[in-house]
Amino acid sequence: MPTTQPYKLPRAGLEREALRKKGQFWTPDWTADIMTAYVLQDKPLRLLDPALGVGVFFRAAKRYARLHDFDLELFGRDIDPEVIGQARMSGLNDDDLRNVEIRDFVLDPPSELFPAIIANPPYIRHHRLSQAQKELLREFAHKATGRRIDGRAGLHVYFLIRALQSLAPEGRLAYIVSADICEGVFAHALWQWICSQYRLDAVIAFASKATPFPDVDTNALVLLIRNARPAADFDWVQCLDRDSRELTALVSERQQKSYTGIHVHRRLLSEALATGLSRPPSDNTKHQYTLGDFASVMRGIVTGNNDFFFMTSARAKEQGIPDTLLVKAVGRMRDVQGEYFDPEDVQRLDDKGRPTRLLNVNGVLFDQLPMRVQKYLEDGEAKGLPNKTLIKTRKPWYRMEVRKIPPILFAYLGRRSARFIRNRADVVPLTCLLCVYPRHSSPEFIEHLWKVLSNPETISNLKKVGKSYGGDAIKVEPRSLERLPLPDDLVRAEGLEQYAEAKQATLFE
């Protein structure tokens, strides 16, 4: 099948927000053909799509069944009643849709098992779920898996658990989903359960130019799983082009001697679970040192309301807020242009009207504050700030989080490359950046550590500990960053190994 144009998503506005609320991002035809070829290769009598959407999988299944000359009954579910009309407009008829129900697949599942299930689940992140929904979903997951799934799991995680439970013996599931299902804090418990109960046949990852969802800030994976005895290895595949032919042959168990549009790795399941199913196979390089041997990492400051607490120097003067009650800060990654952040950069931002001052009245009684600062806080209280989610836990409500000035910052997610930044402007970061605190304060140690961290070889290791997003962006949480492997030869070249040894000796003592 020739390459097809990907579905175009609205980039912003009400249409994009509506998709986010419903978690609807439609699968392109070429990807649907690959997934269909896997689940229908045994010519099953029935197929379930538990998140029907516009019916792309139904259409792909009809094409496959017609090509391979067998009868197939289609079953579907969705919670959005509008999809029935959209599916008809896409080319499906009433006979195709006669077994579609508008029901919640996770919490109101079908009573029968299916030999073939194919799904692009609703991608609804945890913060868009109500507390009541979260409690019901976590109770379901615990009952199903015997494991506690972290509350930061999105709806697509619970959808996968239910889809696996709905598979008949030897049934096949093809599931397209965000890579965070293999990278989030919940991933270890989830995949330990899956791989102990089911057979992982293949994981398909996509190069940037081949992504099925080019306008979505996430990396997609296709998971091919069978309700069969677990195996010790599986195929890990990277798709290089938007072309279904070679992948269709592979998932249909028609192995070729060589491929041009995909890279195929036969991986041990044990290695993949340790490395991360969304990440390329480990190069088996053993690193003696990690960043955590030489530094600790903390997130930046959460203000609770940047518009109130984070301001330009000009606004601070207008409001009569003295420098003694302000902290120099940086509030977004694109305000840091390179690998160094200097006093001149703060001035550059001031000149451009960017916020660089963070209000911090900690330790000063309200009555002892200047009258104009008291008035500023009273105005904030009148606007309802004390009732905001993050702020209402603070006493007093205007108390600010505190961070020591970090000598090194880390830009952990953005359109620019993830990188370490030498903080020579003595700023504190907001949540756009992570704080890296070397375990020794000597300038020499900090400079040696900085050289190791800014080396391209170290930067390339970020993919081993980070969560992957669209456009090759990587997000690395504080504890994960502390696990960042540091190349042994770089550590030795900068004379840092003595500090790690001293730290280990202290622990043993």
Two tokens at 417?
Answer: 């490359």
Q: Under CATH, what is the fold of the domain 292-508?
A: Adenine-n6-DNA-methyltransferase TaqI; Chain A, domain 2 (3.90.220)
Angle at Cα 117 formed by Cα 272 and Cα 259, nearest 5°? Answer: 50
Q: State residue 254 phi and psi, 5-degree precision.
A: -105, 75
- Smallest CA-to-CA distance from 223 within 189, 173, 261, 268 is with 173
Give the amino acid at 413. L
SS3 178: strand
The one-digit pLDDT tens for each residue of the chain (509 residues) are: 333 333 344 444 444 344 444 445 678 999 999 999 999 999 999 999 999 999 999 999 999 999 999 999 999 999 988 888 989 999 999 999 999 999 999 999 999 999 999 999 988 665 567 778 888 888 998 999 998 877 677 889 999 999 999 999 999 999 999 888 888 778 888 999 999 999 999 999 998 888 888 776 678 999 999 999 999 999 999 999 998 899 999 998 777 778 899 999 999 999 999 888 988 887 666 678 999 999 999 999 999 999 999 999 999 999 999 999 999 999 998 899 889 999 999 999 999 999 999 999 999 999 999 999 999 999 999 999 999 989 999 999 999 999 999 999 998 765 456 789 999 999 999 999 999 999 999 999 999 999 999 999 999 888 888 877 666 677 888 988 999 999 999 999 999 998 885 444 433 33
Distance CA 363, CA 354 (A): 27
Q: How far apart are CA 13 and CA 375, in angstroms?
A: 36
Q: Are 212 and 220 in contact (CB under 8 A)?
A: yes
CB atoms within 10 A of CB 495: 11
Quick one: pLDDT at residue 37? Answer: 97
Residues with Cβ within 8 Å of 25's Cβ and at least 6 positions away in sequence, in order, are 9, 19, 120, 123, 213, 216
Identify the pLDDT of residue 251: 92
Fold of 20-275: Rossmann fold (3.40.50)
Longest Cα–Cα distance of the chain, Å, equals: 84
User: In sequence order, what are the beta bridge partners of 87?
Assistant: none
Give the pLDDT of residue 230. Answer: 96
Residue whose tokens read 């997609």: 220
Q: Where are the domains of the chain?
A: 20-275, 292-508
Question: DSSP code of 430?
Answer: B
* CB environment 328-344: b (16+ within 10 A), e (fewer): bbbbbbebbeeeebeee
Closest to 37 in 3D by CA, of 2, 15, 72, 63: 63
User: How many angstroms separate the CA atoms of 113 and 299, rounded?
Assistant: 45
pLDDT for residue 351: 96
Q: What is the pLDDT of residue 112?
A: 96
Closest CA to 331 of 305, 351, 360: 305
Token readout for 119 is 């799904």
- Among candidate residues 351, 352, 332, the one with its CA nearest the CA of residue 421: 332
What is the C-alpha to C-alpha distance for residues 313 and 299, in angstroms, rounded to an integer? 24
CB atoms within 10 A of CB 164: 20
CA atoms within 13 A on the CB side of 45: 2
CA distance 203 to 176: 10
The two three-digit tokens of residue 459, written as one number: 């930067």
Instruction: Determine contact, residues 117/159, Cβ cutoff 8 Å.
Output: no
**Cα separation of 244 and 34, whole Å?**
6
